[in-house]
Structure formats: structure tokens, C-alpha cells
């Protein structure tokens, strides 16, 4: 039992470091999607790092809700016109929505996340 307590600080440091690394990678990835989407005129409703219950959130002047959620193993950007986190179109394809954007704009926005991680 004493060996377990000796390993506890190392384990906590390892888990904390892993979670921090995931948060950084996810944030950079999602920022790639977000920034290219904004550049191409696609509005974003939500920029989330993590899933599940919201821990911290702020809404900027453009109407994007920036949130940090409880489960730090992923993230997403919900662009205008997405009805759900699964990116199902809502049918409201007005100006500034992902659905109404050109094929080139949508392609660049989708590819920007993985490219940002390189």
C-alpha cells in the first residue's frame, strides 16, 4: 500500500500532463477550423474544448460562445446552420452558414483543423 502512495504524485503528474497535452492539441486543431471558417465568412455559434457540462464560457461580440467543458478529450466548432453537434444541417442555409458556403470554403474549413496540427 505504501508503494501506491509513493507512485501517486508521479501518476497525478502523468495524467495531468496528458490532459494538458490533449487540451493544447484540440485547441490548436479547432482554432484551425474556426479561423479559416471566419476568414471564409462562415459564422460560428460555439467553440468548445471538451464535451459534456460547461465549466467556463463566454460569448464574444460576434455571438460565438467559447466554452471549456468537463470532459477534456475532444472539442468542436459548431458553425451557423448546424442543428446538432453531429453537424446535421438545420435547413436554414442563410448567409454566413456552413451550408450556404461555397464548396471551396467548406473544404478549406474542414481541412484547416488537421493542417493546423502540423
Whole-prediction pTM: 0.84
If one counts the domains in the chain, the total is 1
- DSSP calls for 88-106: -B-S---TTSTTTS-HHHH
Q: Tell me the three state secondary structure of residue 47.
A: strand
Burial of 2 (0-12, 13-18, 19+ CB in 10 A): exposed
How confident is the model over 27-54, as a mean pLDDT? 96
pLDDT category at 65 given cuts 50, 70, 90 is very high
- Higher-confidence residue of 84 and 41: namely 41
- Catalytic positions, written as ranges: 30
Domain that holds residue 39: 2-116
- 62 within 8 A of 43, measured Cβ to Cβ: yes
pLDDT at 39: 96
Amino acid at each position: 500500500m505504501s508503494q501506491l502512495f509513493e507512485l501517486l504524485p508521479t501518476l497525478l503528474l502523468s495524467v495531468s500532463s496528458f490532459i494538458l497535452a490533449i487540451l493544447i492539441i484540440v485547441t490548436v486543431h479547432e482554432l484551425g477550423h474556426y479561423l479559416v471558417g471566419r476568414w471564409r465568412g462562415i459564422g460560428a455559434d460555439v467553440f468548445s474544448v471538451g464535451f459534456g457540462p460547461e465549466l467556463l464560457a463566454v460569448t464574444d461580440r460576434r455571438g460565438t460562445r467559447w466554452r471549456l467543458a468537463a470532459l477534456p478529450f475532444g472539442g468542436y466548432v459548431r458553425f451557423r446552420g448546424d442543428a446538432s453537434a453531429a453537424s446535421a444541417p438545420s435547413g436554414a442555409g442563410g448567409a454566413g452558414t456552413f451550408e450556404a458556403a461555397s464548396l471551396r470554403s467548406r473544404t478549406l474549413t474542414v481541412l484547416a483543423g488537421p493542417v493546423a496540427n502540423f
